[in-house]
Amino acid sequence: MWPPWQPRRVAPTLMPMSYQETLSYLFGLQKFGIKFGLSKINKLLELCGNPHYNLKTVHIAGTNGKGSTAATIASIMKEAGYKVGLYTSPHLIDFTERIKISGKEIEEGEVVRLTECIRSKIQDSEFKDDLELITFFEFTTAMALIYFKEEEVDIAVMETGMGGRLDATNVIRPLVSVITNISVEHKEYLGDTIEAVASEKAGIIKDGVPLITGVEQPAAFQVIERACNEKGAPRYRLGRDFSFQRKGINNFSYNGINESFDLLTLNLRGGHQFQNASLAIAAVEMLKDKGFIIPPEALIDGLGKVSWPGRLETVCQNPMIILDGAHNPAGAEVLARTVAEELKYDKLYLILGIMADKEIDGIISPLAPLAHEVILSRPKYERASNPSDLLPLTKRYNINCTAIEDLREAINYARSKAGSEDLIIISGSLFMVGEARGILTSQ
């Protein structure tokens, strides 16, 4: 009998869709918003044969650095010769970026096929009325798990969307869990204290499954340590059980749980990336304990080849244009520190576009004072703030600012003002960075 998670031989009961029609359907699910809970995703995966049950995974939560850490783990495991699934969000330009196997994005035809299969499963189900209200993230998480099962990946690296405890990805039982760091975010969903947010992130901790974490705040770590004690989960904390030392712009040493490296080169920019890379190496150490064979040269090559677009990514020269998806105060602080300490330029032209539901002041305040001029713009996304509305706030930190709603026009304006030794940074939102990347890489 054809396994239930293999939909290729399931006759579709719906009209076939093109790729663009499929994307319209998927993004249309965003109307159901963000709904925490695992009941719908569990029902849906049951209909699809529970593809996650025997899938070997790494699970990553945290406020910032999840994607970089996930990409680094995937890169190392790929260099070790394994077939590696990687599920991250959001995408910058195309939906296919969210689901990759060994660095290759899922094909458009596979997105169409899997969407039609899952929709057919829902339509034919006794849970139809309930599952037709499934959210975008629940649907795409199911898609990723089915695809990874079909393709028989050796390991899948899964990034949470938001929180952890009730995140759709929390149906998996990983070999190792990672919590990168914690800041107060998404207060309406995760709570308005560091302890509340930590409690939600700690929800990914499973019985007996080792946890790697970079959480610094004592109050947050106490919550995590308590959860580990309750679950009998070994925990390894950056700065206590393993550490790194920066040795240059792209180099660092790693003093690990079981092994150490004197000089490693990381293909990601910014001092904060050494922390993310160290978390990734520690997670890889745990995978070695689980039987994966990962030679030192695979780790070295994986760090040297890892790519994570839209995060301190240089896309143009003369003038240099850098994209960074800092979308919360912690990310903005990291970007500001990197600009001040690592980048050389004459004048900085800062193009900012921020989602209306973010902590706008906390994003603007560390970045705007660094700029010769701030250009407020927005991506073509309904949640984006109106640039004109941000002018009064921005002028508190930099009187030299202007609003240009169209992002292409904003980029052209900055380029017209900037000299060859100047710097243009586009930031404030991953949606902003994604649209800007599409504009700049198509020119």
Using one digit for the tens of pLDDT, what is the confidence trace for 281-331? 999 999 999 999 999 999 999 999 999 999 999 999 999 999 999 989 989
pLDDT bracket for residue 128 (50, 70, 90) = confident
Contact 82, 292 (CB under 8 A): yes
**220: pLDDT strictly greater than 90:** yes
**120: pLDDT strictly greater than 60:** yes
Per-residue pLDDT at 132: 79
Contact 198, 173 (CB under 8 A): no
Per-residue pLDDT at 306: 97
**2: pLDDT strictly greater than 50:** no
| 165: helix, strand or coil | coil
Closest CA to 176 of 115, 273, 269, 257: 257
Asked if the bond preceding 329 is cis, omega within 30° of 0, the reply is no
Per-residue pLDDT at 133: 85
| 392: helix, strand or coil | helix
Amino acid identity of residue 359, one-letter, is E
Per-residue pLDDT at 255: 98
385-441 confidence digits (pLDDT tens): 999 999 999 999 999 999 999 999 999 999 999 999 999 999 999 999 999 999 998
**12: pLDDT strictly greater than 50:** no
Per-residue pLDDT at 149: 98
End-to-end CA distance of the chain, in Å?
Answer: 51
Q: Taking residues 206-228, what's their average pLDDT?
A: 96
Intrachain domains 15-305 and 313-441 with the same fold:
no
Handedness of CA 153, 160, 436, 326 (dihedral sign): negative
Closest CA to 178 of 155, 202, 156: 202
User: What's the CATH code, domain 15-305?
Assistant: 3.40.1190.10
Range name among 42-46, 69-73, 190-194 with the lowest pLDDT average: 190-194
Tokens matching residue 94: 């195309």
**1: pLDDT strictly greater than 70:** no
Tokens matching residue 161: 């969307």
* C-alpha to C-alpha distances, 315 to 252, 438, 440, 442, nearest whole angstrom: 25, 11, 7, 11
* C-alpha to C-alpha distances, 369 to 49, 348, 374, 394, nearest whole angstrom: 54, 10, 9, 9
Report the length, in residues, of the chain.
443
Mean pLDDT of the chain: 92
pTM of the model: 0.90
β pairing state of 99-101 and 84-87: antiparallel
**10: pLDDT strictly greater than 50:** no
User: What's the CATH code, domain 313-441?
Assistant: 3.90.190.20
Dihedral angle, C-alpha 160, 68, 273, 410, nearest 10 °: -100
Hey, where are the domains in the chain?
15-305, 313-441
- Alpha carbon distance 296, 280 (integer Å): 14
Q: Taking residues 51-68, what's their average pLDDT?
A: 95
